[in-house]
Amino acid sequence: MKVLQFAVIVAFFALITIDLNAQCETWVGSPNEDAASSAHTVYRDFYKAQDYVKAFPEWKKAFDLAPAADGKRDFHYSDGVDIYMDMYKNEADATKKAEYKKTILEMYDAWAGCMDSGSIQLPNINIDEYIGYIRGREAFNMFYTLNVPYSKNIATLDEAIEKAGNTAEYIIFEPYANIVVYEFTNENMTKEKARDIYTKLNAIADHNIENNEQLSEAYSASKERMNAKFREIENSIFDCEYFKARWVPEYKKKMSDGEEVAKIIKELLKRGCDQSDPMIMEMQTRYSAYADSTNTARQDEFNRNNPGALASKLYKDGDYTGAIKKWEEAMGTHPENAAEYNYWIANTKLWKLKTTSGVLAHARKATSGKFAGKAYILMGDTYARMSRGCGDSWQQRLAILAALDKYSYAKSVDGSVAEDANRKIANYNASRPERQEGFMRKVKEGQKVKSKCTGETVKVRFSD
């Protein structure tokens, strides 16, 4: 019965409007100084005992009379947040909960505003950093308790980081990581924004791990949990250069340890780095030298486990047939890189072995990977080369149209190949069918015709 009476009292007082828009008055020199000071003392005793039900009426009286207390403490705001948070957690009525949440968020704003105005003077603090602390605590409660929309939570977290800088609390790391992963995964956040947040949070963590002796372990643990969440999107928001920036310093420290170099190579390849990247090739060369000088068996084992790496070496050494065999082998051990390996096989066949045999089959399989644009360029080059043996002039020129179609499509899927594609299009435009040839075959401009030589159906465009 007693608990119920207290609950009724809280519900009654909690729904009385609190003027959070009032100025940051103190009780100093006020006619109500004694009343405000007395209410402050009474509610603080209850508050310290975590008896928020009894604390509330006296807290409200103290807050209404002097939101900034004596101007030397911000308890009326911080304690008010705690009291309302307790009421919010223990309230079942949705309408009341909504009112409590609104009051909590408004109180945070008033608290930050009162600090910013200088009405409360706390000793030995940086005002901006302290406001960052307030916003960090608000963001924490927004995420874990108040169920605030992520857009508002992000704005509050950003302000906390901007204001607090390296003093931002570790408690914001995991909430922000969870929000970023959700928002990015659902296409509500750009990878640039996600990357910026990741970088800022890790910089704050690293600073405190290095310089904050008292809380170093807490920052370290929170960083680990935060980055475990970020790993869900890490490969999507960062490119090879980012991972090189992370791993190359490790490589330089451990370059004499071949086993560590091998791990770093594997990590970078897994993160999307190309085997032809100069740094990857340097690492592979160093690993090869290490393996040769220490244990040939280890080299053999590495080559068996990394046929793609060996293929790159064979290609560099001019053993193109051997390289192709290893790329084919690598598709079985590393199917996630199959599109890349297919591209290199097609490229090597056409340009190094000077054959069109099998090129198109491998190039088509390469169009699902990061070399899609280059693969379509390669298909166009293959058709252009095949055109020379396509029989009469008409069939030769239809093959050129097929090549031009592939060049156009290449730049539509990958802007980085646009310059190469446009150059090739300019080179072959004059080799399109002549209008007179079409007239003789009763073929009109825009008509679709099958190129017997390439197997492609092309839309006829005349050169004149």
Give the DSSP letter string of 275-308: TTSHHHHHHHHHHHHHHHHH-HHHHHHHHHH-HH
The predicted pLDDT at position 55 comes to: 97
The predicted pLDDT at position 417 comes to: 95
Q: Of 415, 370, 376, which is closest to residue 274 (Cα–Cα)? A: 370
Q: Answer whether 112's CB lies under 8 Å from 131's CB.
A: yes
List of residues 6+ apart from 362 with CB closer than 8 A: 342, 343, 345, 346, 349
For the chain, how big is the Rg over CA atoms in Å? Answer: 34
3-state secondary structure of 59: helix
Q: How many CB atoms lie within 10 A of CB 393?
A: 12
Pairwise CA distance, residues 322 & 303, whole Å: 13
3-state secondary structure of 75: helix
The residue with tokens 């006829």 is 460
Cα 189–195–197 angle (5° rounding)?
85
Q: 119 is written with which tokens?
A: 């009405």
The DSSP secondary structure of 430-463, one letter per residue, reads GGSPPHHHHHHTT--TT-EEE-TTT--EEE----
Q: 208 is written with which tokens?
A: 């405190």
Amino acid symbol at 268: L
- With 0-12 / 13-18 / 19 or more C-beta atoms within 10 angstroms meaning exposed / middle / buried, residue 78 is middle
- With 0-12 / 13-18 / 19 or more C-beta atoms within 10 angstroms meaning exposed / middle / buried, residue 420 is middle
| Local confidence pLDDT in tens for the 464 residues of the chain | 444 444 444 444 444 456 555 579 999 999 999 999 999 999 999 999 999 999 999 999 999 999 999 999 999 999 999 999 999 999 999 999 999 999 999 999 999 999 999 999 999 999 999 999 999 999 999 999 999 999 999 999 999 999 999 999 999 999 999 999 999 999 999 999 999 999 999 999 999 999 999 999 999 999 999 999 998 998 888 777 777 877 788 888 888 788 888 888 887 887 778 888 888 898 888 888 777 776 666 666 777 778 888 888 899 999 999 999 999 999 988 899 999 999 999 999 999 999 999 999 999 999 998 999 999 999 999 999 999 999 999 999 999 999 999 999 999 999 999 999 999 999 999 999 999 998 999 999 999 999 999 999 999 999 98
Q: Of 209, 131, 201, which is closest to residue 171 (Cα–Cα)? A: 201
The predicted pLDDT at position 296 comes to: 67
Q: Of 331, 333, 327, which is closest to residue 347 (Cα–Cα)? A: 327
User: Domain spanning 2-213 has what CATH number?
Assistant: 1.25.40
Pairwise CA distance, residues 190 & 184, whole Å: 6
Domain spans of the chain? 2-213, 384-464
Q: Answer whether 250's CB lies under 8 Å from 265's CB.
A: no
The predicted pLDDT at position 298 comes to: 62
Alpha carbon dihedral 402, 407, 408, 409, in 10-degree steps, equals 90
List of residues 6+ apart from 120 with CB closer than 8 A: 24, 68, 69, 71, 72, 73, 74, 114
Q: 257 is written with which tokens?
A: 């340890």
Pairwise CA distance, residues 109 & 134, whole Å: 9
The predicted pLDDT at position 234 comes to: 85
Q: Answer whether 311's CB lies under 8 Å from 323's CB.
A: yes
3-state secondary structure of 358: coil
